[in-house]
Chains A and B, each alone.
Chain A
Amino acid sequence: MAGEFDIELPLLLEAIHLKYSYDFRRYATSSLKRRMEQAMEHFACRSLSALQERVLREPEVMRGLLAHLTVQVSEMFRDPSFYRALREKVVPYLRTYPSLKIWIPGCSTGEEVYSLAILLREEGLLDRTLMYATDINPEALHKAEAGIYALDRIAGFSKAYGEAGGRASLADYFTVGYNAAVFDKSLRQGVLFSDHSLATDSVFAEVQMVSCRNVLIYFDRVLQDRAVALFRDSLCRKGFLGLGSQETLSFSVHAAEFAEFVREEKIYQRP
């Protein structure tokens, strides 16, 4: 016999989809449930039905719920070995293109965007690169565009930057103000921050690389397959796909459509 929560959850997801077109129906179950429980607590709702009542009638509650369901705070240069592999093994390929397009789906608050921008700047590629940084959460996109991070996070970012093969000092890329690190706006000159859903939207550009790290873990297999098909369709011949360290295409229906390029860093290449 299903508990009330398990009955109410799909109803709420359906309601959100009908009312706001956000589609969480194929998000991975256990994490989604945890996040919904936190949202219930945050909005002081005793049940998901009570939360649904508010979500349907108060758009600002939907905005708040969106933050609970989507925002994951990443670090700059999370998994330095991934960025080292990009620098040493992928950049030599990217160099051969006269102009570059890179897509960062699910960019959240932008830590990965600035990490990649810094890496490309140091490799002399940033000026000819257009980056699409997309997310479904407008507030996260605003934060990503602002590029302002709390100072207490910077020590960790700097350490990872060094381990990732950074050529200078991370401090060269930001100024300090209001107890925060404000990243140099020239880093995002070629970045387009935009609303895009891997669950409901389609391909919008041909790109040489997709970097989508620790986003697919929140999707179930069906939605993962949809997202990977979008990556496949937007990547050019010999284009690259970077995933998170515990993510894999092994269980995807599209596994055979990619080759492992740097196996241990989950970097794939289109044939």
Chain B
Amino acid sequence: MGARTSARPAPEAILIGGSAGAIEVVSLVLSALPSDFATPIVVVVHMPRQRPSALPGALRGKCRLGMREPLDKEPLAAATVYLAPPDYHLLIDPGPVFALSVDDPVNFSRPSLDVLFQSAADVLGERCAAVLVSGASSDGAQGLLAIQKAGGLVAIQDPDEAAQRAMPEAAVALCPDAPVLSARGISHWVQQAAVWQTSSSQGAR
């Protein structure tokens, strides 16, 4: 973990995905972030299909950063947490900007973690970090693998610790060399991304 080379570019986004039992971990991660945490964070958690979504309410007050559901073509902005809107797939398009679709559910889910992760792998490549936490389906594992193959950073919540182990377990099976972390470990891991950001972004962008 600590032996990452300094040549790695800073991620342009940190993606956090989960399903059942994920809200607690996401809350823990977000609450630990300072208000000047620059890297945009994108959260996809499977929720019941309702509008307005229950997700902002569940996370409100847990986070010092601005938090909102992205609009179509909205550029990813610093110091912002983006929550996937219900009943749409959320994707990253070149820019990077957010894109949405109402294509069929993937892995019975819309939004699907695989859809977000695979588009991020394609558009951001190594400039992307993603973590998969508790959940009861296997959505996200293929996408996490795509990000890893594209050179991005990935991490997985320890299935033994997750409220629901199916999702992290599926990811561990596909990405056996990804770090497997406790919830607190994930919180640290996400903040590491900010260090990469500040140490390598002088003059960039």
> Which residues from chain A sit less than 8 Å from chain B, CB to CB?
28-31, 33-35, 72-74, 78-79, 81, 214, 216-218, 220-221, 224, 244-248, 250-251
Contact = CB atoms under 8 A, between A and B. Distances in A.
Contact of B102 (A29, A35, A74): A74
Interface string B30-73: 00000000000000000000010000000000000000011111
Interface in B169-183: none
Contact of A30 (B74, B87, B93, B102): B93
Closest A-B pairs by Cβ, 5 of them: A30-B119, A30-B91, A31-B101, A217-B100, A248-B71
Nearest to A37: B118
Contact of A81 (B51, B91, B93, B115): B51
Given A28-B99, A214-B102, A221 B94 contact: no
B122 A247 contact: no
A34 B93 contact: no
A250 B71 contact: yes
B119 A221 contact: no
Interface residues of B, number: 26
Contacts of B91: 30-31
B85 interface: yes
Nearest to B88: A246
A199 to B, nearest CB: 17
Given A74-B102, A217-B100, A247-B71, A34 B51 contact: no
Contact of B101 (A79, A81, A218): A218
A30 B99 contact: yes
B77 interface: no
B93 A246 contact: no
Interface string B98-126: 01111110000000000100110011000
A177 B115 CA distance: 37
B119 A217 contact: no
B145 interface: no
Contacts of A29: 93-94, 99, 123
B131 interface: no
Given A30-B92, A31-B91, A247-B71, A72 B103 contact: yes
A73 B102 CA distance: 8
A74 B87 CA distance: 11
A251 B99 CA distance: 13
B175 to A, nearest CB: 21
Contacts of B102: 72-74, 214, 217
| Most chain A CB within a 10 A radius of its CB, from B51, B74, B100 | B100
A221 B103 contact: no
Contacts of A72: 101-103
Contact of B72 (A33, A35, A74, A246): A246
